[in-house]
């Protein structure tokens, strides 16, 4: 349809795609598509957000320490 658009959303760093389903990776690698990036965690809050931010940054021990402080 004219005036239509396709919105693809996902995270290529998380779960692997099914065979032939790596559309986001292909668009980045072959078509030069620059993905938008979410940089602010909005789903969690407080100390839990701190733990998630540390885990997302690869600081696993620090993130788990915060979760342990929270009793989780």
Report the pLDDT averaged over residues 8-36.
74
Q: What confidence score (pLDDT) does residue 12 get?
A: 66
d(CA 17, CA 25): 10
Report the pLDDT averaged over residues 2-20.
72
d(CA 12, CA 31): 16
Provide the percentage of residues in the chain whose pLDDT is more than 90: 35
d(CA 52, CA 56): 6
Q: What confidence score (pLDDT) does residue 65 get?
A: 98
What is the residue-averaged pLDDT of the chain? Answer: 84
Distance separating the N- and C-terminal Cα atoms of the chain: 49
49, pLDDT greater than 80: yes
Name the strand (E) or helix (H) holding 49: helix 46-56
């Amino acid at each position: 349809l004219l005036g239509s658009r396709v919105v693809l959303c996902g995270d290529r760093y998380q779960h692997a795609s099914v065979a032939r389903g790596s559309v986001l990776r292909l668009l980045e690698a072959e078509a030069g598509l620059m993905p938008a990036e979410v940089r602010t965690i909005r789903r969690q809050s407080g100390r839990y957000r701190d733990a998630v931010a540390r885990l997302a940054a690869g600081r696993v021990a620090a993130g788990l320490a915060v979760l342990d402080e929270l009793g989780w």
